[in-house]
Amino acid sequence: MPTKIAPLARKSLQSEVRVIDTEPYYEACGNEITLFEAAYASTLPVLLKGPTGCGKTRFIEHMAWKLKRPLVTVSCHDDLTAADLVGRYLITSNETVWVDGPLAHAVRAGAICYLDEVVEARRDTTVVIHPLADDRRILPMEKHGELLRAPPEFLLAMSYNPGYQSVLKELKQSTRQRFVAIDFRYPDAALEEKIIRTESKAGSATAAALVRLAQMTRNLKGNGLDEGASTRLLVHAAKLIVRGITPAAACHSAIAEALSDDPEMLRAVDEFISSVF
């Protein structure tokens, strides 16, 4: 008698679907919220550009909450294929079962599908993105013999960090020109301070010092650092400080060591730290 294979739970590929009930904290830096809403209303796909840790993912969560749509997040990696997005047949005891991939699931559910760091995915994934991202708004599921038409509630969004220097990780024109692109930068000083305070419950003096520290490291971008300290790193440092770690130790671990391995650069960042606190 053949051994029975336990049926695969259909949920296994859909674990990233989330309905966000409570408002994720987000501070608008510019007109990104109105832009996004307008793009959503016009069923245009959205590309979020910006350095790491500046709030792209948080923004999309906030928008999903605001628009009251479920959010499907796919973190792209270099082995992510088109089948991983669309879906595939699986076998249960002597029968085949089609399981939707996250993208197909999002289309069916009229969700927001967010492809995080899309340049990391394999090139063939763009094939399924393209017809979905222009005015056809369809997802061909070749294997399943189905042509999914996206409902107006569905939105495709992806993120991309233009700061990478690798020539192999560039977004093709044919892909990027299908999207409404929203540029994200680090928030200005006052806003960044507020974000740190809200996220970490740190005092305003600490937050102000952290923002100044970040500014100094951002000044070194291109002068030995690939990126300056992101807002996310600042929040990390602030959280450690709130827990009673000394500012110097917290910033060294959460910021300096996270930015660089170069001993000279580490020393320079440590000097910044001892200067602003």
Q: What are the residues binding other proteins (CB under 8 A)?
A: 83, 88-91, 95-96, 143, 162-168, 189, 209, 212, 215-217, 219-220, 222-224, 264-265, 267-268, 271-277
Query: Shortest approach of other proteins to residue 61 CB, angstroms?
Result: 28
Query: Shortest approach of other proteins to residue 275 CB, angstroms?
Result: 4
Which residue, 61 or 120, is less far from other proteins as judged by CB? 120
Query: Shortest approach of other proteins to residue 277 CB, angstroms?
Result: 5
Which residue, 169 or 201, is less far from other proteins as judged by CB? 169
Residue 31 makes CB contacts below 8 A (sequence gap 6+) with none
Q: Which residues pair with 4 in a beta bridge?
A: none
Query: Shortest approach of other proteins to residue 41 CB, angstroms?
Result: 26
Query: Shortest approach of other proteins to residue 99 CB, angstroms?
Result: 10
For the record, the structure tokens of 276 come out as 């602003």
Which residue, 20 or 83, is less far from other proteins as judged by CB? 83
Task: Give the Å distances, CA to CA, from 61 to 32, 54, 122, 153.
Answer: 13, 14, 25, 16
The residue whose two tokens read 């063939």 is: 124
Which residue, 215 or 253, is less far from other proteins as judged by CB? 215
**DSSP-derived secondary structure letter, 20:** -
Which residue, 45 or 53, is less far from other proteins as judged by CB? 53
Which residue, 144 or 239, is less far from other proteins as judged by CB? 144
In the three-class reduction of DSSP (H, G, I as helix; E, B as strand; rest coil), residue 140 is classed as strand
- Helical ranges in the chain per DSSP H: 32-41, 56-66, 82-86, 102-109, 125-133, 173-176, 189-200, 204-219, 231-242, 247-251, 257-259, 263-276
Query: Shortest approach of other proteins to residue 109 CB, angstroms?
Result: 24
In total, the chain counts a number of residues equal to 277
What is the spatial distance between Cα 149 and Cα 132, in angstroms, rounded to a whole number? 9
